[in-house]
Every structure is written in structure tokens, then in C-alpha cells.
Structure 1
Amino acid sequence: MVTRKAGCVCGFPVLLGLLDARLQAIRSEGSVREVRLSTSQHAAGFYQRFGFVTKLIVPGGFAPGIDRCDMVLALI
């Protein structure tokens, strides 16, 4: 599903494309060994599709009921 808001096209396929493009740019640098990020438990599955692995979960790390998931993607 795509949602249009004030000239912006938003949706899951767009997010997939943006993350994929960014990871390709990072890989092309050649010197980056890993990518780290923090996200909520609600978005962790999205990043797992790209190979990110959850290393640490901090319950309530962002807010009550919203855990912080620290994730890593090894590039080498």
C-alpha cells in the first residue's frame, strides 16, 4: 500500500528501496565493516530482512512499552 501525504510517497516498497540503496552506498565505501542501528521491537523484523541481527534488547529503552533493539549488519 502506498500513501500520499503532501507530495510524499510513503509505503513499505519505498522503505525497502531506500534502505537497500543506502546499504549499497555504504558497501561501496569499501572500508565499512559493519552497520549498527537502534530501533524498536516493532521495526526490528524489517531490518532482519536485510540481515541485521539483534545484539541487545533494552526493555522500555525508548519509552514505556517500546523496547530499544540494538542491531548489527556485518558487511565483511
Structure 2
Amino acid sequence: QDDRSVLQAFAEYEDVEQNVYVARPRHRLKQGDIPYCKCKPLAGSSETCGASCENRVTQTECIPQSIMGI
């Protein structure tokens, strides 16, 4: 039974020549629309972004390249 289903699968196999994406295209932000971190380094702390960070509130990651205070 299993050998027969494998042979049938091989007989019905078709090469995919091109991917067709049915979802909407990925949204790309313009350079001016990319959120950046406006936090300043916290005195006496290794952290830059505290609880009042706008990015933290909107759940946007603060990465070192986006921190304006550094």
C-alpha cells in the first residue's frame, strides 16, 4: 500500500516554475517613517530605555543603531 502511494505521488509530481504569492505584498516603510528611539542614556544605569520609552509603550524594539541619545 505505501509503495503504491509513493509511486502515485511521483507520477503526479509537477515542478514549480515560479512562486505565486497570494498574500498582500510586504509593507516597506520610508526612511522618514521608521520609528527611532528618542531616549537619553539613564544616569547611573546600563539601560538606555526606561518604562516611559515611547518605543516600549508601542512595543517597538530599541536597537543600538536607532537610539538618538547615544
- What TM-score do the two structures reach when normalised by structure 1? 0.19
Q: Which has the higher strand share?
A: 1
- What TM-score do the two structures reach when normalised by structure 2? 0.20
